[in-house]
Structure 1
Amino acid sequence: MEMKVKEIRNFDEFKRVKPMWDQMLEDSPNDMFFLKHEWLRLWWKHFGRDKELLVLTVWDSNEPIAAAPFYIADERIYGLRCRTVRIIGSDIALRSDFLLLKRPEEALRAIIKHMMKIKNEWDLIRLDDLPADSITIHPIERTLRGTGTIYDIMPGALSPYLLIEGSWEEYWRARGKSLRKEIRLRLNRASKNHYLHRLHYRGGGNVEWLMGKVLEIESKSWKYKSGTSILSNPDETRFFLDLARLADRRGWLHLNMIELDGHPAAYQFNIIYKKTILGLKTSFNLNFGKLSPGKLILYDLIRFAFEEGISEVDFGGQAESYKMRWTDRVREHRNFVIFNVASPFILLYLKPLLRKIGPLRWVKGKFELMARRRKDD
């Protein structure tokens, strides 16, 4: 019997499927925080107003076996409107994925076939930062090849992570001498010249007050000056405030903070899910930059992980050098772009080939000719 795909395009309807979604995720081999119904719902609340919801559920008879939490958004490519399908929350999450419960290859084939049936609604499908070790990767590659779909696959984030093994003392002795010396000097200097207060918040207190300190640090950070702070976007500010409240109620929140002379100097906004620390946001106050509070708070976080029975610290993001001083492991990700052959944006896939056989201006002219109808009135 062929699998059936059902669409959820109404947010109220998506809210109603929470019990089913939660059970599917609990039973799924790719259970991750960024597929939690609460996470998806919260993201949509703050960022979904100019987008179209397109959540797909796959059914085998009367049993739900997979889901794709998609949305459609208007994006600009070469100044033209491009209807892009993405996974909800993938712009903020450390990674994204499909919710797969059973028969992943057949379920993914049903999802891809359904998307091709409604290809008049989209130009590109972007699947960003799927974990390379996810049960999704090989089945979706085989599915795309088997259905003759035009797609591209590119490396995604190389995200450092630390498995918590052995004792803190063993781990710390195994770190390089230069790192141990640097941290020791920074701690001594901070303690000698300032009143140093270190905080690990796990719930049960005044989360609003603590988030006020987080935003104070953000306002005095290099990210604020560069326009990349969570304060730079009011929607993102409200999202993280709401996420802190939600995570505090659910026991997921971990706020790690360092204060110097009573002033917040650095913070880490973490989620603890299934004994894994997920590092979502971090920043430090530039006024204390000479003391390297960002390094001290990372030291504090890892020591906390060893002492509190954490299994893994997921630093997220890319493999920046300051993270790689604390671990030798990285988690690979894959980015997929699926092209609609009926869309003018198929030229994005053909562009490298066309570059070889003709002037780039021919490509540009052809693109503009095919895409003229896509321009806004």
Structure 2
Amino acid sequence: MELDVITTIEELERERPAWDNLLEKNQNNNPFIEFDWIYSWWKIFGEDYELFVIIAKIEGETKAYFPFMKKKGLFVERIHFIGYGQANYMDIISGTWNKGQVIEYVIQKLLDSKKSRIFHLHGMLQSEETYACFIKSIEASTDIFYQSSVVAPFVNITEIDIEQYCHSRQKKHGVDRKEKRLKELGTVSIQPLQSKFYEQMFALHAKRWREKNDTSGFSKGKTKEFFNQLAQNDSKTFQTKIDALFLDGQLIALLYGFQCRNRYLFYLPAHDDDFGMYSPGRILFKEKIKECASSEISIFDMSIGYEPYKMDWNNGMDYVSTVIFPTNNMTARIFFLFLTSKDRLIAFLKKNRSLVHFKRNTLGKLKAFMLNNKVKGLIMGAVHTMQAKISDLFFNDEYILYRYDFPTDSGYIDLKWRKATVHDVEKLAIMQKKNKKDLIHRLFRKQRCYVVVIDNKIIHSFWLSAAEITIGDLGYRETLNKYEAFIYDLSWTEEQLINVSFLVKDFKTIYLTVNKKNTKCIDLCKKQGLFVEKRIKKRTFFSVRKLKA
């Protein structure tokens, strides 16, 4: 057996026909080892590494490619599969000839080297022959190596009745109910993402990860450039698939993935957290599985990771291994101990969902707050916290609950009122000084909002709840009867009250609350003939609370 080593991209390009031919013969369905994927990766990330692709030949005929690269350090060389950091799976490229014999020979030759080298090989699927051959060869050649694994859930579409399968799962977490509410909010469409929306795709992902403390670099620097390039590739061996969910033309969720022969590999999701209560990502995920079931796809691969939503959908499980081993060199072995200790710690932390959640979300929000608000924000945050603590100790406030029974003739004044849509939320958030996500959550709870828009600016608005009366400051809630409604966040004018009675005429009675200190609004309520239904008081003295209605 002969071994050749490719060290330049020009040499690698000349191997494309033979490389593609081996994969075609095997009907490869791993997109990460297709030549176009590897070539694209190297063009963008290759400057930080050296090519170290090993070709195994017998009597001049190529039997296998080992797609390695190396990175020289101060004391050791590190050998990785090409694509390290972005490729979730890797393998050697070989024909049907004795793979075990080829791998054994190459491993032995590599370990015979006197150089200080660490082999850090991530991405071998345990279900593939390569993994078993590598482990057997390493065990026979060295007494020191390490391996770890991470789950890779998938759906074997050939084994399911897709309608029954989706029906039982979409009820979990209320996905069917949330999808219905999303469609009530506006027009929902699911379609392949066009190139004109690619920047919105990266912006959506960046927004999603802005307050998370984690390693997803999809929307940054070279990684963004790479995935943008892949999105526009015209490879015949694999295709980049980006599926998007739009609400009234606004991108709110997407799935970025690859299709390689009979496998669809879901790589990365993103959704707008402002619409998170509707679970747009889960809705899109379900629709993508159904689409794959109606095509020639037999495996819906969810890729690596312990995310709970993957475990909700999978009916099969694979494992992806990371194998680390050094050459027979003292320096390499010392570095091996350091590297494997680090990998063990990372593997342990990733399996603990509560720790992952704390690191990614809690610490991420704290980091984002400190970066965005800096000194002034920290001071204001401390002041607000102190005020809240004092309020918990000493609090005394009162609201008046007014009842308004509609007259037969409301004397409606036409101010061009209309029911607010999702497109109004941004402007409402600015006008009412509210959080956009909180306003969308009101719509999710089927609360209505009415607005008057002049010159593209909201000048009047109010919210309506047919479920309950809520006074957030007091922590007060009261369930409403049929034909009753609660009005809140109302622009206080006489015309407003007259228009409210006209706009919500499907109710017989409305309620609204006024703080006892707001004498102007109290006078207006009296003038309009509103009845005082009750007074709601809250007193707190040294954290002992008393609520009286």
CA contact (8 A) 1:268 1:279 kept: yes
What is the alpha-carbon distance in structure 1 between the residues aligned to residue 199 and residue 207 of structure 2?
13
CA gap of 1:199–1:224, structure 2 versus 1, over 3 A, is farther
Residues paired across the two proteins, number: 337
Higher RCO (CA < 8 A, seq sep 6+)? 1
CA contact (8 A) 2:238 2:261 kept: no
- Asked if residue 314 in structure 1 is aligned to residue 301 in structure 2, the reply is yes
Name the structure 2 match of 1:277: 264
Name the structure 1 match of 2:136: 142
Q: Aligned partner of 1:137: which letter?
A: Y
Name the structure 2 match of 1:259: 246
Name the structure 2 match of 1:53: 51
CA contact (8 A) 1:29 1:100 kept: no
Q: 2:275 aligns with which of 274, 288, 292?
A: 288
Q: 2:154 aligns with which of 144, 157, 161?
A: 161
1:44 is displaced (CA, Å) by 0.6
Name the structure 1 match of 2:348: none
1:105 is displaced (CA, Å) by 1.8
Q: 1:114 aligns with which of 109, 113, 116?
A: 109
What is the alpha-carbon distance in structure 2 between the residues aligned to residue 245 and residue 42 of structure 1?
11
Q: Aligned partner of 1:340: which letter?
A: T
Q: 2:290 aligns with which of 288, 303, 318?
A: 303
1:161 is displaced (CA, Å) by 0.3
Structure 1, 288-297 or 41-50: larger mean CA deviation = 288-297
What is the alpha-carbon distance in structure 2 between the residues aligned to residue 137 and residue 192 of structure 1?
50
User: Pairwise mapping of residues 164-203 of structure 1 onto structure 2 (< 5 A)?
Assistant: 164-165=157-158, 166-175=160-169, 177-179=171-173, 182-200=174-192
1:115 is displaced (CA, Å) by 1.8
Q: Show CA shifts across 1:300-345 (max 9, x none).
A: 2112122234211101121321111112321112221111221413
Normalised by the length of structure 2, the TM-score is 0.57
For structure 2, which runs of at least 5 residues remain unmatched after alignment? 340-549
1:22 is displaced (CA, Å) by 0.8
Name the structure 1 match of 2:36: 38
Q: Show CA shifts across 1:29-86 (max 9, x none).
A: 76622111111111111111021110000001121111111011246xxxx7542100
What is the alpha-carbon distance in structure 1 between the residues aligned to residue 218 and residue 122 of structure 2?
24
Q: 2:321 aligns with which of 323, 328, 334?
A: 334
What is the alpha-carbon distance in structure 1 between the residues aligned to residue 163 and residue 170 of structure 2?
13
What is the alpha-carbon distance in structure 2 between the residues aligned to residue 162 and residue 214 of structure 1?
26
1:13 is displaced (CA, Å) by 0.7
1:296 is displaced (CA, Å) by 1.4
Identity level (%): 21
Q: 2:68 aligns with which of 64, 67, 70?
A: 70
For structure 1, which runs of at least 5 residues remain unmatched after alignment? 202-206, 353-377
Q: Which has more radius of gyration?
A: 2
What is the alpha-carbon distance in structure 2 between the residues aligned to residue 177 and residue 110 of structure 1?
53
What is the alpha-carbon distance in structure 2 between the residues aligned to residue 58 and residue 250 of structure 1?
23
Q: What SS does the corresponding residue of 2:4 show, helix, strand or coil?
A: strand
Q: What SS does the corresponding residue of 2:323 show, helix, strand or coil?
A: strand
RMSD (Å) for aligned C-alpha atoms: 2.4
Normalised by the length of structure 1, the TM-score is 0.82
Q: What SS does the corresponding residue of 2:3 show, helix, strand or coil?
A: strand
Name the structure 2 match of 1:362: none
CA gap of 1:32–1:229, structure 2 versus 1, over 3 A, is closer
What is the alpha-carbon distance in structure 2 between the residues aligned to residue 74 and residue 264 of structure 1?
43
CA contact (8 A) 2:126 2:132 kept: no
CA contact (8 A) 1:167 1:306 kept: no
What is the alpha-carbon distance in structure 2 between the residues aligned to residue 250 and residue 349 of structure 1?
37
CA gap of 1:67–1:295, structure 2 versus 1, over 3 A, is same
1:350 is displaced (CA, Å) by 5.8
1:116 is displaced (CA, Å) by 2.9
1:112 is displaced (CA, Å) by 1.5
